[in-house]
Amino acid sequence: MKRPLVAILMGSDSDLEVMSEGTVILKDFGVSCEMKVLSAHRSPELVSRFVKQARSRGIQVFICGAGGAAHLAGAVAAHTTLPVIGVPLNASALGGLDALLATVQMPAGTPVATVAVGKAGARNAALLACQILALHSAGLRKKLEAFKEKLVAGIIKKNQQLEKELRA
């Protein structure tokens, strides 16, 4: 098995369904990853130990998903200079707005690249991780270019379908 390049962390196993969206994307792009439940509030020492050892194990990008007070991405970013992507999750009565604000509003000096709330965010976090890794991988860059071309082809097809329906 290849050494993981991306660590996907989540605050609870209740986040697994959403965060698994990212693993599907990474698998499609042939990027190895590992997944762990680590909570900024329930297990702060484990978070710090994991993050401090990650670079020496080959990790290059962190993706952190959490709901509610959602401090995981920020807590990870506090311990590393590796890029950290935060995925706010809808896990409380506030519908994810709480997690979005907690993840995005980092103080200057400790950046977290925050993506959208929920599954779209989990997917985009994985794509962004691939784009970061592609800075040093021509193979990965080609796969990303092919992915973009597929997006364009999808839009063209939708317009053809729309025209057909309007003409009918």
List residues near ligand RP5 by CB under 6 A.
Answer: 10-12, 14-15, 39, 66-68, 89, 91
Closest to ligand RP5 by CB, 75 or 106: 75
| C-alpha 43: how far from chain center | 21
Closest to ligand RP5 by CB, 15 or 21: 15
Closest to ligand RP5 by CB, 15 or 128: 15
For 117, other C-beta atoms within 10 Å of its C-beta total 20
Closest to ligand RP5 by CB, 17 or 28: 17
Find the shortest distance in angstroms from Cβ 75 to ligand RP5: 11
Closest to ligand RP5 by CB, 4 or 67: 67
The tokens for 107 are 């103080």
Find the shortest distance in angstroms from Cβ 24 to ligand RP5: 20
Find the shortest distance in angstroms from Cβ 107 to ligand RP5: 20
CA-nearest of 62, 10, 53 to 33 is 62
Find the shortest distance in angstroms from Cβ 156 to ligand RP5: 38
Find the shortest distance in angstroms from Cβ 104 to ligand RP5: 16
Cα distances (angstroms) measured from residue 1 to each of 22, 55, 115, 146: 19, 18, 29, 25
Residue 143 · residue 29 · CB < 8 Å: yes
